[in-house]
Amino acid sequence: MKNWAGIIMAAGEGRRMVSKIPKPLHKVCGKEMIRYPVELLQTLGVSHIVVVVSPSTELPLRNALGNSVDYVVQPVPNGTGDAATWAVNALPSTIDNIVLLGSDSPLIRLDSVRQMLDKHKAEPNVMTMLTAPDMLSEDLGRIVRDDNERIVDLVEARDWNGDVWAPAEINAGVYCFDRGWLQDRVVEIETSPKGEKYLTSLVPLAAQRGDTISAVASEMPEEIFGVNDRVQLAQVETVMRWQITERLMRSGVTIQDPASVFIDSDVTIGIDTVIRTNTCLSGKTIIGEGCDIGPNSVLQDSRIGDGCRVTASMLEEATLEAGVDVGPFSHLRPGAYLETGVHIGNYVEVKESHLGQGVLAGHFSYLGDASIGAGTNIGAGTVTCNFDGTEKHRTTIGEGAFLGCDTMLVAPVSIGDGAATGAGAVVTRDIPQNLLAVGVPAKIRESS
């Protein structure tokens, strides 16, 4: 694919979204729409990817995609044909072929585009298209063939004079082009009454010249669904959400009620894990094998080891090693790291804290900016008082410690291995190992 370039059209104004956010940056299953065609082209091994942007969308798209692609600015929104002209003229001379996609059709499948590429390379086509035969659509362009089944025209929905709900072969908006042909022909596209040049005008232009156009029929017509407004955004997400859950179930994951579960496209789940109802798995969450997640749980950008259970709880950028039990009704915030065998019960909040192997925190506690040693028991109502109104401070608790109910640990403070606190203790000074501190403020007793 070294002599191939990818062009992604992302300069449209997207007015129907009624949004201050550029349409390509609206998310489907947790990922901006623009990322789907970019990642598809990267997976295909396309050597050069160009995103066509407008002056108003250039900065936000650059912020989203960084240096993973090149950018070409279409100064004035004069249509897709004009956008393609700017893009193809910016390509290196070594590029012989082009694959062109939209930025608002995240359901387009890798297999479909690969079939297009193979067909384009195997045949003397100047243009190869992806289409959906026998499709019902009121707002997508229609392929017109002659008596010999040759493609002779592409009629936009707004120009179609027939029944808009009659089955037709629908244009998916995904094309392969011979680079030289495209570069020569885009300048011949006539301007519409609206002052725009449409890329689809290349179809009748090629037919009139006798140039060869071919098409690949989609095996899953729903992949051509695009997004023009928020209704279609929801429709596309519904399709993709089912695709994600189906893929996971066929790979060995149990999902009790797929309709009530929301799983983002980059989530990974191991075999024999059960995802229960009303659970949301977002971002780049990774879940191991044999876990039980939900019901009513939210996991965002978290890493979950094998054999964990998370019940009716929220995890944000948290890490659980194997065999950890969380919930119900607990909240693990960014920086929470729980080693093997940790138990977090109901109404426990953990933030920027490392809990060693086998730590128990069963009830109503806040553990923030803390390091807690293995085998320590956290009594109900324990709070690490980590904020002094200006700065955050850390609490360090050794191994095998025992904190009584309602212990207040006023950071910075250190609790030694095997140390203990009495119920209601307010700890403002370090407690040496194997000693007991009680009272307000807590004082050391001779022995525990």
Structure token digits, residue 156 = 């936009």
Residue type, 306: D
Question: How many Cα atoms occupy the beta-carbon half-sphere of 347 within 13 Å?
Answer: 8
Question: Which is catalytic among the residues 26, 48, 363, 393?
Answer: 363
Structure token digits, residue 194 = 């609206």
Is 363 noted as a catalytic residue in this protein? yes
Cβ(100)–Cβ(19) below 8 Å: no
- End-to-end Cα separation, the chain, in angstroms: 72
Q: What is the DSSP string of 133-191?
A: EEE--SSS-EEEE-TT--EEEEE-GGG--S-TTS-EEEEEEEEEEEHHHHHHHGGGPPP
Q: For residues 267 and 241, what is the distance between their CA atoms, to the nearest angstrom?
A: 12
Give the Å distances, CA to CA, from 416 to 36, 115, 353, 420: 51, 65, 17, 9
Q: List the 337-338 sheet strands across, edge first.
A: 268-269, 286-287, 303-304, 319-320, 337-338, 354-355, 370-372, 395-397, 413-415
Cβ(54)–Cβ(258) below 8 Å: no
Q: How many CB atoms lie within 10 A of CB 92?
A: 9
Q: For residues 136 and 167, what is the distance between their CA atoms, to the nearest angstrom?
A: 5
- Long-range CB contact pairs, 275-281, < 8 A, 24+: 275/248
Cβ(286)–Cβ(263) below 8 Å: no
Cβ(220)–Cβ(172) below 8 Å: no
Q: For residues 88 and 92, what is the distance between their CA atoms, to the nearest angstrom?
A: 9
Cβ(406)–Cβ(427) below 8 Å: no
Adjacent-strand bridge partners of 293: 275, 310
Cβ(409)–Cβ(382) below 8 Å: yes
Which residues have a catalytic role annotated?
Answer: 363
